[in-house]
Amino acid sequence: MNKHAKQFAFFFGIILATSFTTRAFAQSAEEQAVLTPIHAMFDGMSKRDAAAIKAPTLPGGTMVLMRDGKPAQMTFEAFAERVGKPGKTQIEERIHDPLIRIDSDLAVVWAPFDFLVDGKVDHCGTDLFNMVRVDGKWMIASVADTGTKTCSAK
């Protein structure tokens, strides 16, 4: 490869790496708006606040939690009652590298997650959020997730 071709390949590689890195960390205002109710639900979970867990959800919405190949279904209300009870352990759910797709008033968020208990990963998997915009505000319409105890160390 001649000198100019090497320089071109080097600079082209930098441009590609920069664009992928920027995309991985930069989200549009609309994407951030879609993520806001998800983070609000997680905040309510960590505070064990049933009302805060339910607030960003569409009334009547449901969750499907896949555990060991079996689905556990529940309403957001039942989930909020279960997680919103006082407890001795500190819980926290984190998503990373979300894939967000938006079409008008419908959005989907697909993201790997880690669920921490007292600061240590208890289980992990993938979250899938179906989002709807109601009166200009994004809400969680449904959630599905996978969950496994075989998580890589973080």
Domain-wise residue ranges, the chain = 28-147
Residue 153: the pLDDT is 59
**Residues of the chain with pLDDT > 90: what percent?**
77
Neighbours of 143 (CB within 10 A): 22
Residue 118: the pLDDT is 97
* Res. 4 pLDDT band, cuts 50 70 90: low
- Say if residue 45 is exposed, middle or buried (CB neighbours under 10 Å; 0-12, 13-18, 19+): buried
Domain 28-147 has CATH 1.10.520.10: no
Identify the bridge partners of residue 69 per DSSP, sorted by sequence position: none
The answer to whether 118 and 35 have CB atoms below 8 angstroms apart is: no
The predicted-structure confidence for 86-133, as pLDDT tens digits, reads as follows: 999 999 999 999 999 999 999 999 999 999 999 999 999 999 999 999
The answer to whether 83 and 53 have CB atoms below 8 angstroms apart is: yes
Stretch 3-16: mean pLDDT: 47
Residue 26: the pLDDT is 66
Reading the block at residue 130, the tokens are 């179906």
